[in-house]
Structure 1
Amino acid sequence: MSVLIGETMTGGYGGADILHGCTIAVEAGEIAVIVGPNGAGKSTAMKALFGMLPLRQGQVRLRGRDITALSPQDRVKAGMGFVPQVRNVFASMTVEENLEMGAFLREDDFRETMEMVYGLFPILREKRRQPAGQLSGGQRQQVAVGRALMTRPEVLMLDEPTAGVSPIVMDELFDKIIEIAAAGIAILMVEQNARQALNIADRGYVLAQGRNHFTDTGEALMANPEVRRSFLGG
C-alpha cells in the first residue's frame, strides 16, 4: 500500500479546475518525481496533496487514512513534510533556529534529529550560527530540507528543490535525496530538470494539463520515445 496517495484529484483555485482526475502516489523509501511542461499542474498537485488546495473531487490518503479534510499543519502532525520552492527559510534567523522551528510541533527531545540533519548536511553544522539569508542558494535549500526533516516525516515533499542552483549543487542535492529515501522516507518531488530527476526516480509521473499522461518507472519513462520527444526535448 502506498504511504501517500492522492487519488483522482480534481480541483483548482476557485475558478476553472487545474487538476483533472490526477492520481499521484509514493511508497516508503521510494523517490517519486512529477515532471511535465510549465502549467501542467505539477505544483498544484503537490499543494493539493498537502492540503493547500481544496479538492472538488478525489481523496488524499496517508497510510490508508483519509486526510482530505486535514489542514496542512495537521498533515505535518500526521507525518508529512513539505518544502516549497520559494520563501522556504527564515532569512533573519540562524541555521540552527530554522531547524528548531521545524520541531515546533514536537514535545520530545529533538536533538538526535538535529544531529541527523547535521550529519546529512555537514555545512549546516559549520554555519549553524549564521543567518540563513546569508547562505548560498544550495545551502538555503539544505536548511529548508533539514527543517522539514526535523518534523520526522514519513513523506517528504519537495517543490523544485534544485531551482536556481548550479549543476554541481543539483547533483549534490539529488545525492542527499537518495540518502534520505534510503532511510525509509518516501520522497515526492516536482522537478523542472526532468532528465536528471527521472534518473534517480523509482517512479515518475508525467503531467500535462492537470492530467496523468504517463506513469512508469523513471528508467522506463526515460526510454519511452514519446516521453523523450514530447517532454524531454528528444
Structure 2
Amino acid sequence: MADPFLNAENMTGGYGSGADILHGCNISVDKGQIAVIVGPNGAGKSTAMKAVFGMLNIHTGSVMLDGQDITALTPQARVAKGMGFVPQVNNIFTTMTVEENLEMGAFLRRDDFSDTIEQVYTLFPILKEKRRQHAGELSGGQRQQVAVGRALMTQPSLLMLDEPTAGVSPIVMDELFDRIIEVARTGISILMVEQNARQALEIADKGYVLVQGRNAYTDTGQALLANPEVRRTFLGG
C-alpha cells in the first residue's frame, strides 16, 4: 500500500516549555480524503492540527507530506509545500473586501490567479455577490466561506480546517460540509477538527477520536458512528 498523503506519526509535545498536550498522537490522510478529528473539550484536537502545521514544538514524532519529511519546516514553508490552514478565530481581514481577502490568500503565488478566484466564486456564489463588501460586514457562515476561500487561493494539496462550523446555524453547517465534500472531490485532502462530531463523521472517510492528546479510536467515519462505545461516550448515545 502507498503511504498516506499526510502522515503525522507519534507526535508528542505542547506549547513552549509547558506540559505536553499530545502523547504519541498519529494522524494520516490519503489523497482526496476527508479526515475528521473529534473528542471532548481539552482532548488536544486543535493542538494536533497545529502540530501538523508546525505551530508548536513536538519533541518526538514526524510529519510527512507527499513522501517528504516536513517536521522541521516553519508554517510558512509548509504553506509553500501545499498546506492550507484555516484557524477557528481571527481568520479573515475584516476591514478588507471579500475579494481583497482572497487576493491575500495568493501572496505566495507569482502566476495569474484570476482563475482560482473564479473557482472560489463558483464554490461559494454568495462571495461573488458580496466581493466588494468588507468581510467584517458578513454573517458568520459567510466569513467562514471567505476564510476557506482564502486558503484555497494558495492551491493547497492539504486543507486543514479548525472548527469550521463553530457558531453557525445547522443550515449553514450543512452547506459548509457540502462545500467541503466538493473540495475533496477535486483531489484536495481535508483534515478537519470539529465539535459537531456526529455530523462531521457522517462526511468523513476517516475519523480520529482523541482523548487527553492520545488516539482513543481510529476508523472510518461510518464505523465510528456505529461503534456503541463511541456513541455512548462521545456522541450522546
Q: Which TM-score tier does this pair reach, normalised by the shorter chain?
A: over 0.9
Structure 1 residue 15 displacement after superposition: 1.5
Distance 2:95 2:19 in 1: 38
1:103-161 alpha-carbon deviations (Å, 9 max, x no partner): 00000010111110000000000000000000000000000000000000000000000
Alignment equivalent of 2:185, drawn from 182, 185, 188: 182
Equivalents in 1 of 2:8, 2:220: separation in Å?
Answer: 18
Letter aligned with residue 195 of structure 1: R
User: Shift of the alpha carbon at 1:3?
Assistant: 1.2
Letter of the 2:164 counterpart = P
| Structure 1 SS opposite 2:210 | strand
Residue 62 of structure 1 is aligned with which of 57, 60, 65?
65
AA at the equivalent of 2:7: I
Residue 64 (structure 1) shift: 1.2
Say whether residues 1:86 and 2:89 are aligned partners.
Answer: yes
Query: Cα distance, 1:73 vs. partner?
Result: 0.5
2:196 to 155, 173, 193: 193
2:4 aligned residue (2, 5, 14) = 2
Please give the per-residue CA displacement for 1:44-68, whole angstroms capped at 9, x wherever unaligned: 0000000001110000010111101
Separation of aligned partners in 1, 2:67 and 2:229: 34
Q: Kindly indicate whether residue 120 of structure 2 is the aligned counterpart of residue 117 of structure 1.
A: yes
Q: Once the 2 structures are TM-superposed, how far is the Cα of residue 5 of structure 1 from its aligned partner?
A: 1.4
Match of 2:209 in 1: 206
What does residue range 10-29 of structure 1 map to in structure 2 within 5 Å?
10-13=12-15, 14-29=17-32
Deviation at 1:2, TM superposition (A): 1.1
Report the aligned-residue RMSD.
0.4
Which of 65, 72, 75 matches 2:75?
72
- 1:16 offset after TM fit, Å? 1.0
3-state SS of paired residue (2:58): coil
For the residue of structure 2 that corresponds to 1:219, the secondary structure is: helix
- The answer to whether 1:131 aligns with 2:134 is yes
Q: TM-score, normalised by structure 2?
A: 0.98
Q: Deviations over 1:16-65 (max 9, x none)?
A: 10000000011111000000000000000000000001110000010111
CA distance in 1, matches of 2:5, 2:131: 33
Indicate the SS of the match to 1:90: coil
Report the TM-score when normalising by structure 1: 0.99
SS in 2 for 1:17: coil
Q: Give the Cα–Cα distance (whole angstroms) in 2 for the partners of residues 15 and 113 of structure 1.
A: 41
Q: How many residues align?
A: 234
Code of the aligned partner of 1:133: G
How far apart in 2 are the matches of 1:93 and 1:134? 10
Return the letter of the residue paired with 1:2.
Answer: P
Sequence identity of aligned pairs in percent?
77
Alpha-carbon distance in structure 2 between the residues aligned to 1:195 and 1:136: 24
Alignment correspondent of 1:166: 169
> Following the alignment from structure 2 to structure 1, what is the Cα–Cα distance between the partners of residues 125 and 30?
28
Deviations 1:170-215 (A, max 9, x none): 0000000000000000000000000000000000000000000000
For residues 78 and 29 of structure 1, what CA distance do their matches in structure 2 show? 17
Distance 1:95 1:12 in 2: 34
